Amino acid sequence: MVLPTTALRLFLLILSGLMADGDRSTESRDIQTLEVFPSEVQLSSKRSQRQLVVTARAADGTTWDVTSVVGMTLRDPELALITGTRLVPQANGRTLLTVTLGNARVEVPVSVTGQETEEQVSFRREVLVALTKQGCNAGSCHGAPDGKGGFALSMLAYAPEIDEESIIYGGLSRRITPLEPEDSLLLKKPLLQIPHVGGKRLQKTDAAWEILHDWIQQGAVADTVSAPACEGISVYPPGTRVLRLPGGRQQLSVMANFSDGSHRDVTAIATYATTNAEVLKVDDSGFVTGIQRGMAAITIRYLDDVHSVFFTVEQDREGFVWNGAPEAGDIDRLVNARLQQMQILPAERTDDAAFLRRAYLDLTGLLPSVDQVRAFHADPSDQKRSQLIDRLLASEEYSRYWASKSADLMRANQAAMPNGRAELFVDWLADSIHRNQPFDQFAEELLTAAGDASSTPAAGYFLAIPEREALAETTAQLFMGSRINCARCHNHPFESWTRNDYYSIAAVFARIRSEGSILSVQTSGEVTHPTTNAVMKPWGWKQMPGESADTTDRRERFSEWLTSPDNSWFARVEVNRIWAHLLGRGIVHPVDDFRSSNPPVNPELLDWLADEFRRVGYDRKHMVRLICNSETWQRSAAASEFNADDTSLFSHAAVRRLTAEQLQDAIGQVTRTVRPIQNLSAEIDRTQQELATASQSLQTAFPMWLEGMQKKLSDRECWQTMWMYSGVYAESDYDRAISMVYEPEAEQEANRLFAGGVRWIRKTDWLDGQQHAFPPSSPGAHYIARRIHASRPGKVVLEFGSDDGARAWLNGVQVLDKPQRRGIKTDEDRLELDLPAGASTLMFKVIDAGGYTGFACRLVSFDGVPIRELDIPLEIAELLQTAPDQFTPEQMELLQAVHRTSDAGLVGLTQRIRDQKRRLEYQTQRSVPEQNEFLMAFGQPRRESPCACERLSDSTIDQTLQILNGELVWNRTREAANHYAAFDNTAVAEEIYLSALSRFPTASEQQQIRTLLETTPNRQEALQDVIWAVINLQEFVFQH
């Protein structure tokens, strides 16, 4: 048995010999076989090489990597060099490689061909990869947007054509000297042979040095256009690996697969990074070493392809014995399997008090009332926990609290969703949760919403995010769990997200347009790639081949893809969010950062949950119920020697600070400064009854009201309806916008202006005589149209002005032709028009050259008599033209609705119910929580970002001060003293403890409080002190 003779190998052997017993990687006695990857080595060109990976297999089937400690000899050493653990070809021929360790031995055939032909170093496949490996094109170095020191590269080589220009030709070809390669700046700078601000970045022993050097020596030429593209990398060993300490290690082998069907070993030039340096390290050659117990991934990058290998590092813990923790179902089974592997003991089941408080806080955001706590403690049933979970899941509070979690991420704030739209939007979210709408249907309804957000609240999602790029980012983060933002400007540094992907997702939203509260879907509009200018195919099309992009709303196709069973993201992302809400941490963490380099801590668990979610038809409540009924969720927060260091595998409950809203509500509940929630539903019932009575009486008055309204209208000689607006018909230049005949003109000719294909937008707020702006755009045409009613033929006078030029038609006959560019002057054009009796149609075309655009129009007089404004909505006025017996049921309903809203009392009652439903006193229940000092201090999000990280959960001095002597706490504890004054000195302790901590006070707590109350002269103040002290308990501020 000949051992390798290099000093390094000997050193390694000596070193490993000194290691503790049980380092199996160097013990050869229990090795049954050695397995070498690849089983046959083919080196078919001058620049090829092959990484070897040697695995030992014991009799019991366990395997471990021994690549770095085996002996390797070639029968014919002339044919190839053994460089480290790689084979590098030298001469054509066939031979055998013998790999030995102890008594184990295996032979691998080696064939070397193609050594007679020179092989060009590839610029794209080798040089750029080498630069990435050395960090040259990192975002903080030459990959910065303007580069560094006058040398700019594309970040991580996403744009080889940019790199080609600056490396080969930049600065008058300054950086390369093919006739004296070592004199090239490209080498001298990173070698630090001349000053380099970036420091030493290259050693002559690096694989990158040889690549750069040889490429320059060969003339430093770019690849030919036909050079094959990389289509992906494959890594050996595949899948998840377990390393056992001490000594656990793994050599990786990375193959790149090219479009021409060829493969190349790129192990030496790929870039490696660890996701957790405390658990795992990796060197430049892809050699991974375990450091301590835990989980981490190694991320491997080659060009645009990123691949991750998950590792679990096992390490024996002294004295560890599995405790056979009970398992309520698959969740516990999978969680425990992981815990057992990592030698972590799960905690005990928590007690009733902690369970109760946890269940209420997690499911409703609120504390249980004193009565509820007493009842639960008194309940002897062994089903009481699951019964409580069911009750809470059915409650209104659950829906509202969980809706607020989504609302936080969907910009449901007053600025992004003004005029009450935020409240409507959150009501809609809460309703969806309450009726347990399947999550796929919810996503589809949200992502394809269109129309007026005051009647279709889901459309508010799009109105709140006006930019399609931001929509792409938000949607990806919410539903795909991916932060694609980076890919807006460059390919993602840790992931395979490319700019193509990014703009494909943006293209999904290219055809929606928002105007005030209305979201409409257009038939045209594209997104182009900012550098290639290619029109992007919307995301979902490539993934789901079928009909072309332009026939339907693109979002429908996207939603279809999103919710299809083939999309692994959808179910996983949502169950992971649910899990994180309940356990305080996601299986993938953070919850919106799914990527191969951020592996789930328990992949089997996540897979199982996602499968279950799909199996039950995306039933959200079912998943919450399952998790809450698991032993895992019901574990105590008390840590033990064998789980104290676990923060991510769910061995014990995570102690979490109450959220800002939960805390303010909890203080309100303990201090009795907010109404108990049970009383609320009774109030809602009462108000509803009042409303029913009032509606009844109003109903009888409706015919009279209608008659009065019609009379009022028929007394008018002339009146007009509200404006209808077409939106913009974008055009390449002004002249085209003038000459083109767009839909409204065509429909007018076809005599069906308001019945044709034009998607008119009602402009209820465009008042007569005022100036109104159109949304700014590139050149194009805008149409506005309305009807004018006259009781008899007569002459009407109008004043009109626009930016820029305009044309007008009355009943299809052109009455204005001023297409020249101009600024707005409200009375520039004075139109005198002869109206027939009845309804006439007036339409303007306003042509825009770009920049500001808008118009003003005023109906001045009818037959010389000035015209007064109408005090009923114009659309109703239009409707009132119809005889009462001709109304359709829908029209009747509309009129009745107008009637109801004209009654102040009824409006007030309706509003009161809505407010009560929104539980305005409760921050966890409100559609839009208050924004006050207290809430902000505790990390309340402003709802401006789709990132769950916007809610801050860390502790600050400000928080301590707020709780110790903030205004809110002070005022509320003082009021609370009044409430608790009614209890005697024994009962009061119990009342406060049950209310704040969901448990009875201990005898000594009871005693302390009684003593305090008895010995303090001012009982009121003493009571305030007691309440204050309880609020300041860690037990109160945290959930266990």
Compute the distance between CA of residue 958 and CA of residue 936 in angstroms, rounded to an integer: 10
- Minimum distance, C-beta of residue 774 to other proteins, in the bound complex (Å): 28
Identified binder of other proteins from the candidate list 150, 676, 757, 851, rule CB under 8 A: 150
Point out which residues pair with 829 in neighbouring strands.
Answer: 800
Element (H, E) at 403: helix 396-409
Q: How many residues in the shown chain lie near other proteins by CB under 8 A? A: 29
188 binds other proteins (CB under 8 A): yes
Stretch that binds other proteins, among 14-22, 172-180, 568-576, 817-825 (CB under 8 A): 172-180
Compute the distance between CA of residue 422 and CA of residue 429 in angstroms, rounded to an integer: 11
- Minimum distance, C-beta of residue 198 to other proteins, in the bound complex (Å): 10
Q: Given strand 50-51, what is the order of strands in its sheet? A: 50-51, 86-89, 80-83
1000 binds other proteins (CB under 8 A): no
Compute the distance between CA of residue 376 and CA of residue 380 in angstroms, rounded to an integer: 8
Binding mask of the shown chain, residues 1001 to 1020, with x at each position contacting other proteins by CB under 8 A: --------------------
DSSP 289: E
Element (H, E) at 512: strand 512-515
173 binds other proteins (CB under 8 A): yes
- Minimum distance, C-beta of residue 169 to other proteins, in the bound complex (Å): 7
At 725, the amino acid letter reads: Y
Interface positions, 323-342, toward other proteins (CB under 8 A): none
Identified binder of other proteins from the candidate list 75, 94, 174, 686, rule CB under 8 A: 174
- Minimum distance, C-beta of residue 269 to other proteins, in the bound complex (Å): 21
- Minimum distance, C-beta of residue 185 to other proteins, in the bound complex (Å): 5
Dihedral angle, C-alpha 42, 48, 49, 55, nearest 10 °: -50
Sign for the pseudo-dihedral over CA of 920, 921, 924, 930: positive
At 513, the amino acid letter reads: R
Identified binder of other proteins from the candidate list 204, 391, 792, 942, rule CB under 8 A: 204
Select 218 or 437, whichever has its Cβ closest to other proteins. Answer: 218
Identified binder of other proteins from the candidate list 179, 755, 813, 904, rule CB under 8 A: 179
- Minimum distance, C-beta of residue 94 to other proteins, in the bound complex (Å): 28
Select 189 or 782, whichever has its Cβ closest to other proteins. Answer: 189
200 binds other proteins (CB under 8 A): yes
Select 67 or 285, whichever has its Cβ closest to other proteins. Answer: 285
At 520, the amino acid letter reads: S
The SS3 of residue 817 is strand
194 binds other proteins (CB under 8 A): yes
- Minimum distance, C-beta of residue 168 to other proteins, in the bound complex (Å): 9
Identified binder of other proteins from the candidate list 77, 109, 145, 171, rule CB under 8 A: 171
- Minimum distance, C-beta of residue 194 to other proteins, in the bound complex (Å): 5
Select 200 or 821, whichever has its Cβ closest to other proteins. Answer: 200
531 binds other proteins (CB under 8 A): no
- Minimum distance, C-beta of residue 547 to other proteins, in the bound complex (Å): 40
Identified binder of other proteins from the candidate list 175, 307, 358, 490, rule CB under 8 A: 175
- Minimum distance, C-beta of residue 203 to other proteins, in the bound complex (Å): 7
Identified binder of other proteins from the candidate list 162, 185, 831, 913, rule CB under 8 A: 185
792 binds other proteins (CB under 8 A): no
- Minimum distance, C-beta of residue 117 to other proteins, in the bound complex (Å): 11
DSSP 863: T
Stretch that binds other proteins, among 100-108, 167-175, 271-279, 782-790 (CB under 8 A): 167-175
Strand 280-282 vs strand 305-314: parallel, antiparallel, or unpaired? unpaired
Residues 6+ apart with CB under 8 A from 942: 413, 931, 950
Residues 6+ apart with CB under 8 A from 841: 748, 753, 754, 785, 786, 787, 788, 809, 810, 811, 812
Q: Where are the alpha helices (DSSP H) in 46-144?
A: 128-134
Gyration radius of the chain's alpha carbons: 37
| 3-state secondary structure string across 758-771 | CCCEEECCCCCCCE
List C-alpha distances in Å: 281 to 236, 248, 603: 17, 11, 22
Select 188 or 818, whichever has its Cβ closest to other proteins. Answer: 188
- Minimum distance, C-beta of residue 549 to other proteins, in the bound complex (Å): 33
189 binds other proteins (CB under 8 A): yes
How many Cβ atoms from other residues are within 10 Å of residue 209's Cβ? 18
Euclidean distance between the first and final Cα of the chain, in Å? Answer: 61
HSE (CB half, 13 Å, CA atoms) of 932? 12
- Minimum distance, C-beta of residue 146 to other proteins, in the bound complex (Å): 10
Compute the distance between CA of residue 909 and CA of residue 197 in angstroms, rounded to an integer: 71
Select 199 or 324, whichever has its Cβ closest to other proteins. Answer: 199
144 binds other proteins (CB under 8 A): no
193 binds other proteins (CB under 8 A): yes
Identified binder of other proteins from the candidate list 169, 258, 608, 983, rule CB under 8 A: 169
Strand 838-848 vs strand 780-790: parallel, antiparallel, or unpaired? antiparallel
Stretch that binds other proteins, among 130-138, 165-173, 378-386, 608-616 (CB under 8 A): 165-173
- Which is nearest to 301 in space by CA: 263, 278, 274, 262? 274
Question: In sequence order, what E strands does 606-659 have?
Answer: 656-657
197 binds other proteins (CB under 8 A): yes
Select 221 or 638, whichever has its Cβ closest to other proteins. Answer: 221
768-795 as b/e: b if 16+ CB within 10 A: beeebebeebebbbbbbbbbbbbeeebe
Select 203 or 523, whichever has its Cβ closest to other proteins. Answer: 203
159 binds other proteins (CB under 8 A): no
Stretch that binds other proteins, among 186-194, 711-719, 784-792, 925-933 (CB under 8 A): 186-194
DSSP 194: S
Select 207 or 486, whichever has its Cβ closest to other proteins. Answer: 207
At 508, the amino acid letter reads: V
Select 144 or 470, whichever has its Cβ closest to other proteins. Answer: 144
Q: Where are the alpha helices (DSSP H) in 728-780?
A: 734-739, 743-749
Compute the distance between CA of residue 878 and CA of residue 720 in angstroms, rounded to an integer: 9
Stretch that binds other proteins, among 198-206, 420-428, 483-491, 505-513 (CB under 8 A): 198-206
Binding mask of the shown chain, residues 205 to 224, with x at each position contacting other proteins by CB under 8 A: ------------xxx-----
How many Cβ atoms from other residues are within 10 Å of residue 183's Cβ? 13
Tokens (6 digits) for 147? 């580069």
Contact between 596 and 602 under an 8 Å Cβ cutoff? The reply is no
7 binds other proteins (CB under 8 A): no
Select 175 or 943, whichever has its Cβ closest to other proteins. Answer: 175
Select 134 or 748, whichever has its Cβ closest to other proteins. Answer: 134
Identified binder of other proteins from the candidate list 195, 238, 239, 565, rule CB under 8 A: 195
At 404, the amino acid letter reads: S
- Minimum distance, C-beta of residue 125 to other proteins, in the bound complex (Å): 20
Q: Which residues bind other proteins (CB under 8 A)?
A: 150, 169, 171-175, 177-180, 183-185, 188-189, 192-197, 199-200, 203-204, 217-219
